[in-house]
Amino acid sequence: MISANATSISFEFFPPKTEQGHAKLAETRLALAALEPEYFSVTYGAGGSTRDNTKSVVLDGLNAGFNTAPHLSFGGDETDTIIALLQEYAAAGVNRLVALRGDLPSGFGGGARLVHANELVSFIRQHCGEQFHIAVAAYPEIHPEATSYDTDIGFLKKKFDAGASSAITQYFFNPDAYAYFIDQCQASGVEQPIYPGIMPITNFDNLLRFSKNCGAEIPRWLCYRAEALQHKPAELNAFYLEFVTQLCEKLIALGAPGIHFYTMNQAEPSIAICQNLGLQ
């Protein structure tokens, strides 16, 4: 599906655990499809823990006529399992992947290995040639395990050198972080598009928890404002919506090629932002 908008949009889902969740996701996807996204993507649980469930959501999306991109990491799988999965995806009509190192699920014992994303990109190119558009992850506020700003950008460059086609960022709330990051990537020779990942704000406590793990900075003033409005849900939601809309406006003004929404399987928050932006 080609987006009618100059700013391309895409929406990310996670695979639900229940049948009810799958049915609700089908409704969410239909509602978001009205915005003519370039594609939907479906996450891959840490350590490959959702391999079959991710595949089932991807195939459902393709069968419903929507361009759908699986996220993929080696997880705990053997190379043959990953090759078979790639072949299955290609046969089903997948033309885009999001390639990641991923993290280990909590409680995963010793012995497990994490394969860096640049190696996974090389592996996919080696086995599948140019069959897929491969997106990788990028971190304007720098990956929490990175040893320095420059090495992290160096590793992103390695993912592109291995054959990645584009990158999607971790979510962030400071547009200056993206602007500086893009400058530094370009100075390092990165020419491929880097799409900002945007997290609509719905549940602040969850956001604080996620952000601690993934290293996204929550502006201090935003925390204070959220606290002040905590007993006024309508005002609070309007404030979050305005805040994220303005973030997107600034990113588009900076030249962001599009926006990738972390939907958390909800349609309304992303739709409201897109409507505010005139992306409909």
Binding site for ligand FAD (CB under 6 A): 43-44, 46, 71, 98, 100-103, 116-118, 137, 143, 145-146, 151-152, 155, 158, 168, 170, 197
Selection from 8, 16, 133, 160 nearest residue 72 by Cα: 133
Please spell the DSSP secondary structure of 198-248, one letter per residue.
Answer: E---S-HHHHHHHHHHHTPPPPHHHHHHHHHTTT-HHHHHHHHHHHHHHHH
The answer to whether residues 85 and 72 touch, using CB atoms and an 8 Å cutoff, is yes
For the CB of residue 116, give the shortest distance to ligand FAD in the complex, in Å: 4
Q: Which is nearer to ligand FAD, 128 or 146 (CB)?
A: 146
* Spatial separation of the C-alpha atoms in residues 74 and 47, rounded to whole Å: 7
Closest CA to 139 of 170, 178, 185, 180: 170
User: Does residue 71 contact residue 54 with C-beta atoms inside 8 Å?
Assistant: yes
| In the complex, least distance from residue 179 CB atom to ligand FAD, rounded to whole angstroms | 18
Contact 163, 134 (CB under 8 A): yes
Q: How far is the CB of 167 from ligand FAD (least distance, A)?
A: 8
Active site residue 12: yes
Nearer to ligand FAD among residue 132 and residue 236 (C-beta): 132
Least distance from ligand FAD to the Cβ atom of residue 198, Å: 11
The smaller minimum CB distance to ligand FAD, of residues 197 and 258, is found at 197
Taking the least distance from each CB to ligand FAD, the nearer of 35 and 71 is 71
Beta carbons of 138 and 158 less than 8 angstroms apart? no
Active site residues: 12
